C-alpha cells in the first residue's frame, strides 16, 4: 500500500519536473535567484510609489497593511513615501531598504544567505530611533528567524526584543506578492509571477497542492494525524542529525589532508564543535555554528595563539582559516576566537597565508563556500537552515560521501593555493 510519504515524494518529483518545463524565468536565467542586493532592489522598486511598476502606492499600502501590521495608518502618507535601497547611515553601514513616510522611519534589513555583522541591527535601531521615536527594525529572512545576539547588542546594551519584528520571504513576502497581482496594472502580473516562483524556490516553500494533499491525508484518521504530529516533532532533530552525519563524513575524509599538512584535530576547547552544536537548537536560534577544528601546527601564532583550519555550518557550508586563542577566557569556556588581529597576528597570518587584508572578516583570516570554493554561496552550496535541494540531497549516504569527497578535493586545492608554509 502506498503511504502518505510515498505520495508526497511522488508529488514533489512531479513538481520538480514541472519546474523544468516552466516558462522562461529571468531570475533563473541570470542566476540572481538569491542575490541579496538585487532582490532588495526589486522589492524596493515594488514598494516605491514612483517605481517603474506603474502601480503608484498600491503595492506599498498592501505591504504596510499585511506585512508590517500598519492597518490604522493614514494611507495617504504612502502616496508621498520615499523608499530607498542601500540607505547609507553612520560608519559606512547601509540599511537594505528604508521607507520614510511623514514621521515614520521604517528600516528593513534583508538576509538571504549573508551573515549578520557585529552590532548591525543595534546600529540600525539607534539610527532609526533618532529619526522616529517609535521606530522598530524589520528583519526579513527566508524563514523568519531572529537575528543573533551579536547583531542586536553592543557592549551591555541591546535592542528590546519587541522592537525587532521578524518577517519571512516564505510567508510575508509571498503573500504580499500574490496580493499585488490583484492590483489594476495587469502588465506586472507576469513579472510578479516570476518573482513569486523565485521566492518559492529560494525559501523552500511547499507548494499549495502538496500541502493540501498532506493535510487531507493527515485528517483521514486519528492515527494519521498522530503520526504526522510525531513527524513534525522530529523533523528538526532529523535535520540536525543530517548536519552531524555530514560533519562526520568530513572528519573521516579530511584525515589524510590533516596528516599531510601536519594538522592536529583540536579537542581541548570544543569550540563550536559539531558533536555538541549539531542539535535542534540550530533551528531555534540564528545558528549554533557546528564545525570541525584543526590546529595548523606548522604556523605558530604570537602569544600562544593558534591558526586553525575549520569547516563550519552557519546557514550555508563553508571552510577556511581562522585564529584562536586557547589561553583566553570566554563565556563559551576555555579559549576564545580572535576577531581583531593585532599587528603581530596580522604579520604572522600574512606570513603563512597568501591572502589580502580584505579577506579578513571577524575571526576568519579567509574562508570560502563549499563545494566549489567560491566567495559567495549559490544553489550548489547546502543551506541547512532553509534545507535547499543541495542540503536535502545529502540525506542519501552515497550522495553525501560523493559530495564530501568533492569538497575535500577542492579544499586540498584551496589549501595548496593559500597556505604559504614551506614543505
Taking only the tens place, the pLDDT of each residue in 252-266 is: 999 999 999 999 999
> Is residue 293 predicted with pLDDT exceeding 80?
yes
Q: How confident is the model at residue 420 (pLDDT cuts 50, 70, 90)?
A: confident
pLDDT grade, residue 286 (50/70/90)?
Answer: confident
- CA gap 287, 274 in Å, rounded: 12
Distance CA 251, CA 282 (A): 20
Cα separation, 138 vs 99, whole angstroms:
11
The span from the CA of 417 to the CA of 384, in Å, is 28
Confidence of residue 378 (pLDDT cuts 50, 70, 90): confident
Q: What average pLDDT does the segment 275-280 reach?
A: 93
User: Is 124 within 8 Å of 108 (Cβ atoms)?
Assistant: no
Percent of the chain with pLDDT over 90: 58
Q: Which residues contact 368 (CB under 8 A, 6 or more apart)?
A: 318, 319, 320, 374, 375, 414
First to last CA, the chain: 62
pLDDT tier, 58 (very low <50, low <70, confident <90, very high otherwise):
very high
Contacts of 217 (CB under 8 A, 6+ apart): 4, 7, 224
For the cut 60, the answer to whether the pLDDT of residue 300 exceeds it is yes
Q: Which residues pair with 330 in a beta bridge?
A: 333
The answer to whether residue 34 scores a pLDDT higher than 70 is: no
Q: What three-state secondary structure class fits 240? A: helix
Output the pTM of the full model: 0.67
> Which of 4-13, 39-48, 115-124 bottoms out in mean pLDDT, i.e. has the lowest?
4-13
Per-residue confidence (pLDDT) for residue 75, from 0 to 100? 77
The residue with cell 522598530 is 136
| pLDDT score at 333 | 67
Is residue 238's pLDDT more than 90?
yes
**What does the pLDDT look like over 163-219, one tens digit per residue?**
999 999 989 999 999 999 988 877 889 889 888 888 887 776 766 667 788 888 888
Q: Choose among 306, 298, 308, 257: nearest CA to 416.
A: 257
> Which residue bears the cell 523544468?
20
- Look at residue 370 in the predicted model and tell me its pLDDT: 96
- Is residue 303's pLDDT more than 90? yes
* Percent share of the chain, pLDDT over 70: 89
- Between CA 82 and CA 156 the distance in angstroms is 34
Residues 6 or more apart in contact with residue 400 via CB below 8 angstroms:
245, 246, 249, 394
Phi-psi region of 364 (alpha: psi -120 to 50; beta: other; left: phi over 0): beta
| Cβ(121)–Cβ(147) below 8 Å | yes
* 104-111 and 137-141 strand pairing: parallel
How confident is the model at residue 21, as a pLDDT? 47
Is it the case that residue 331 has pLDDT exceeding 80? no
Record the cell numbers describing residue 105, joined without a space: 522611519
CA proximity to 62, closest of 153, 146, 171, 172: 172
How far is residue 381 CA from its own chain's centroid?
A: 11
Q: How confident is the model at residue 360 (pLDDT cuts 50, 70, 90)?
A: confident
**Mean per-residue pLDDT, 145-168:** 91
Residue 389: predicted pLDDT: 85
Least confident of 70-79, 83-92, 313-322: 70-79
DSSP-derived 3-state class of residue 385: coil
- Determine how many CB atoms are found less than 10 A away from the CB of residue 195: 22
Q: Which of 5-9, 323-327, 350-354 has the lowest mean pLDDT?
A: 5-9
User: What pLDDT is recorded for position 376?
Assistant: 83
Q: Where are the domains of the chain?
A: 21-205, 235-418
**Cβ burial 151-181 (10 Å sphere, 16+ → b, else e):** bbbbeeebbeeebbeebbbbebbbebbebbe
Kindly tell me the burial class for residue 8, based on how many C-beta atoms sit within 10 Å of its own C-beta (0-12, 13-18, 19 or more): middle
CA gap 274, 415 in Å, rounded: 22
Residue 314's pLDDT band, with cuts at 50, 70 and 90, is: very high
pLDDT at 400: 97
Distance of alpha carbon 408 from alpha carbon 294, whole angstroms: 14
In this structure, the chain runs to a length of 423
Please compute the mean of the pLDDT values over residues 138-151 and round it to a whole number.
Answer: 90
Q: Decide if pLDDT at 393 tops 50.
A: yes
DSSP 46: H
| pLDDT score for 329 | 81
Alpha helices (H) along 219-299: 222-253, 255-260, 274-277
* Edge-to-edge strand list for the sheet holding 164-168: 82-88, 94-101, 104-111, 137-141, 164-168
| Mean pLDDT of the residues in the chain | 88
Confidence of residue 30 (pLDDT cuts 50, 70, 90): low
Amino acid at each position: 500500500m502506498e503511504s502518505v510519504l510515498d505520495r508526497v515524494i511522488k508529488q514533489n518529483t512531479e513538481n520538480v519536473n514541472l519546474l523544468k518545463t516552466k516558462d522562461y524565468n529571468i531570475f533563473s536565467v541570470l542566476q540572481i535567484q538569491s542575490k541579496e542586493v538585487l532582490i532588495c532592489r526589486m522589492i524596493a522598486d515594488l514598494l516605491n510609489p514612483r517605481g517603474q511598476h506603474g502601480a503608484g502606492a498600491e503595492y506599498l499600502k498592501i505591504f504596510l497593511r499585511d506585512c508590517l501590521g500598519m492597518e490604522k495608518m493614514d494611507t495617504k502618507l504612502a502616496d508621498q513615501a520615499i523608499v530607498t535601497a542601500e540607505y547609507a547611515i553612520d560608519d559606512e553601514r547601509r540599511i537594505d531598504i528604508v521607507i520614510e513616510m511623514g514621521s515614520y522611519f521604517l528600516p528593513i534589513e534583508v538576509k538571504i544567505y549573508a551573515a549578520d555583522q557585529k552590532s548591525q541591527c543595534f546600529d540600525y535601531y539607534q539610527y532609526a530611533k533618532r529619526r522616529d521615536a517609535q521606530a522598530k527594525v524589520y528583519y526579513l529572512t527566508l524563514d523568519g528567524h531572529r537575528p543573533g545576539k551579536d547583531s542586536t547588542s553592543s557592549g551591555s546594551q541591546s535592542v528590546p526584543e519587541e522592537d525587532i519584528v521578524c518577517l519571512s520571504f516564505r510567508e510575508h513576502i509571498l503573500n504580499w506578492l500574490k496580493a499585488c497581482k490583484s492590483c489594476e496594472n495587469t502588465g506586472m502580473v507576469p513579472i510578479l509571477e516570476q518573482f513569486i516562483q523565485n521566492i518559492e524556490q529560494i525559501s523552500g516553500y511547499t507548494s499549495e497542492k502538496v500541502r493540501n494533499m498532506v493535510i487531507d491525508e493527515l485528517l483521514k484518521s486519528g492515527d494519521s494525524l498522530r503520526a504526522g504530529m510525531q513527524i513534525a516533532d522530529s523533523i528538526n532533530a532529523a535535520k540536525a542529525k543530517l548536519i552531524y552525519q555530514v560533519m562526520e563524513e568530513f572528519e573521516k575524509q579530511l584525515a589524510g589532508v590533516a596528516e599531510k599538512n601536519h594538522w592536529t584535530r583540536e579537542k581541548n576547547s570544543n569550540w563550536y564543535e559539531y558533536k555538541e552544536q549539531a542539535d535542534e537548537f540550530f533551528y531555534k536560534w540564528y545558528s549554533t555554528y557546528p564545525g570541525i577544528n584543526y590546529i595548523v601546527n606548522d604556523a605558530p601564532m604570537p602569544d600562544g595563539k593558534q591558526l586553525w583550519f575549520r569547516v563550519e555550518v552557519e546557514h550555508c557550508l563553508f571552510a577556511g582559516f581562522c585564529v584562536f586563542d586557547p589561553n583566553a577566557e570566554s563565556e563559551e569556556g576555555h579559549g576564545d576566537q580572535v576577531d581583531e588581529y593585532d599587528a603581530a597576528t596580522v604579520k604572522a597570518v600574512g606570513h603563512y597565508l597568501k591572502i589580502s587584508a580584505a579577506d579578513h572578516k571577524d575571526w576568519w583570516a579567509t574562508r570560502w563556500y563549499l563545494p566549489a570554493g567560491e566567495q559567495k554561496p549559490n544553489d550548489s552550496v547546502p543551506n541547512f537552515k532553509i534545507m535547499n535541494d543541495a542540503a536535502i540531497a545529502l540525506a542519501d549516504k552515497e550522495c553525501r560521501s560523493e559530495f564530501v569527497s568533492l569538497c575535500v578535493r577542492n579544499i586540498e586545492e584551496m589549501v595548496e593555493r593559500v597556505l604559504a608554509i614551506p614543505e
